[in-house]
Amino acid sequence: MTGDKGATVNKSRRRFLVAATSVVGGAGMVAAALPFIFSMEPSAATLAAGGPVEIDISKLEHGQLLTVGWRSRPVWVLRRTKAQLKVLSAPNPELKDPDSDEPQQLPQYRNSYRSIKPEYFVAIGICTHLGCIPTYRPQIAPADLGPDWKGGFFCPCHGSRYDLSGRVMAGSPAPLNIPVPPYYYSSDTVVHVGELKNGSEQNWAPTTW
Ligand code: FES
């Protein structure tokens, strides 16, 4: 049984490598890329959980949120408006971790937008309290969230509040910012989620997975 299981894992790994090298690019790149990719080989658990996904954002309009499944979790892509970006660029003393200093956050996204391109916010849509899915609430000062609400994400389970960069606000039971997964742009309109461009971080998982 152990041998069969091992063979299954190896086959999965081979499939992953084919996929990974085709992502890296043309045939000329394969020989150079293989040693590097082997050193970044994902764990069996990661393979079972699912490889990277590509998300087409070409039809996403300003202010819209797109949700796509990855490893049984929702991945959000929010295309923020100019007004939303302006709110995020201002200091906000209500944030628990404004600079994303707590563990689980990749250094590439430690800015007020928590993203590569300010306009697009990519995140795992789970609340860091107990894993509910927060709702996107872009309205300014809606009756149920109060006059200070400037748009963000609200978790209906126990009331955690996040800004439009997924940064958790003081007074929320959630301890951490919403996690941003490893990703990069494979073209102007396609986001590749599940690893960084150099093939690293394939085993990434947030503290509150
Ligand atoms: S799970 Fe979101 S506030 Fe508790």
Place of tokens 């929320």: 172
Are residues 124 and 68 part of one domain?
A: yes
Local confidence band at 157 (pLDDT 50, 70, 90 cut-offs): very high
Is the same domain home to 78 and 36?
A: no
Shared domain for 105 and 207, answered yes or no, is yes
Looking at the fold, whether 30 and 79 belong to one and the same domain comes out as: no
SS (H, E, C) the chain: CHHHHHHHHHHHHHHHHHHHHHHHCCHHHHHHHHHHHHHCCCCHHHHHHCCCEEEECCCCCCCCEEEEEECCEEEEEEECCHHHHHHHHCCCCCECCCCCCCCCCCHHHCCCCCCCCCCEEEEECCCCCCCCCCEEECCCCCCCCCCCCCCEEECCCCCCEECCCCCEECCCCCCCCCCCCCEEEEECCEEEECCCCCCCCCCCCCCCC
Nearest CA to ligand 1 atom 1: 130
For 27, the domain range is 2-41
Q: Please report the pLDDT score of residue 172 as a whole number.
A: 98
What tokens does 162 get? 């996040």
Q: What's the rounded Cα separation, in Å, for the pair 62 and 190? A: 16
Structure tokens at 121: 């916010």
Given the residues 62, 129, 158, 192, select the one marked as catalytic.
Answer: 158
158 is known as an active-site residue: yes
Q: Tell which wins on pLDDT, 124 or 39.
A: 124
Give the range among 4-13, 23-32, 199-208 with minimum mean pLDDT. Answer: 23-32
Residue bearing the CA closest to ligand 1, atom 4: 158
Query: 166: domain CATH number?
Result: 2.102.10.10
> What is the average pLDDT value for the chain, to the nearest integer?
81
pLDDT at position 161: 98
Count: domains in the chain? 2
Is 114 in the same domain as 202?
A: yes
Q: Give the span between the Cα atoms of 136 and 76, in whole angstroms.
A: 10
**Mind listing the pLDDT tens digit for each residue in 88-116?**
999 999 999 999 998 778 888 888 899 99
Note the pLDDT of residue 24. 22
* Residue 36 pLDDT > 90: no
| Residues 24 and 91 grouped into a single domain | no
The model carries a pTM of 0.78
36-40, 76-80, 198-202: segment of lowest average pLDDT: 36-40
Same-domain check for residues 148 and 179:
yes
Residue 3 has pLDDT above 70, yes or no: no
Residue 173 Cα: closest atom of ligand 1:
3
Query: What mean pLDDT is predicted for residues 174-188?
Result: 96
